Amino acid sequence: MSILESLRPAAGLRVLVSAGGNGIGATVARAFCEAGAHVHVCDIDQAALRRLSAEAPGITSSVADASVAADVDRVFDDLRTTLGGLDVLVNNAGIAGPTGPIDEIGAEGWERTMAVNLNSQYYFARRAVPLLKQSKAHPCVLAMSSVAGRLGYALRTPYASTKWAIVGLMKSLAIELGPQGIRVNAILPGTVEGERMNSVIAARAAAAGVSVEAMREEYLRKISLRRMVSSEDVAAMALFLSSPAARNVTGQAISVDGNIEYL
């Protein structure tokens, strides 16, 4: 296999993307599908799954709340029928969580952020690993963290705490699963263009008492390239990390962020 050929994921990979109905997850799912993979996604948003199915009929799906263990179990029940096994897990579920000073963040917001962003990583990994151990296709786990998993993030402590924890989980699993040939890496997106980022900027602007436009400019000043990234940028990294070219890349937290200098 040539170097150029190795940059493309092997055709026929069986891929599961959690929270794959919208945003980064949907872009990743479509990218794998276009690369010849068999893709199954889950999402809490049934309407989003219907839209994705219309756009990419080859992608199968399950309705599930990634923070609920029983829902995740049902996803893997569906997976037996749709994929018959697993080669790549994209552990993508996550929410922004509350914005505000730590003494004003309620327990409910904190706990929901932990449940969606961190507990889901555990629920999917524990069910995926037995299937990945049976894979002969350079199996891997991709854990979606964030640039907030390498930098402190004032007023976003629940979110940042989960994203740092995901990196720790990834590095531990890379050591644990390496002898079985399973690679584990984390992708750390930066400021990703789209509706979710618009909401985050608006919430942070309100908390800081400044205009949305001023807060957007503040975000851009923190990025060395002075631009946001796209969900396609993140999907491209996911494809690379699942390709033969990355067969010796594991235990890494890889930023796709234009080099965010501080938060």
Give the catalytic positions in this structure: 159
Q: Is the separation of the CB atoms in 81 and 142 below 8 Å?
A: no
Place of tokens 């990583």: 121
Residue 112, Cα to own-chain centre: how many angstroms? 17
Pairing of strands 14-17, 183-189: unpaired
Closest CA to 158 of 98, 200, 103: 98
Q: How many CA atoms lie within 13 A of 85 on its CB side?
A: 11
Write the CA distances from 41 to 70, 193, 210, integer angstroms: 16, 22, 38
Q: Could you tell me the two tokens for 206?
A: 């309100």
SS3 103: helix
SS3 189: strand
Pairing of strands 60-63, 183-189: unpaired
Q: Could you tell me the two tokens for 244?
A: 């033969």
Q: Could you tell me the two tokens for 84?
A: 């018959």
* Beta bridge partners of residue 260, listed in sequence order: 223
Place of tokens 């942070």: 204
Q: Where are the alpha helices (DSSP H) in the chain?
A: 3-6, 23-34, 46-55, 69-82, 107-114, 120-132, 157-177, 195-208, 212-221, 231-241
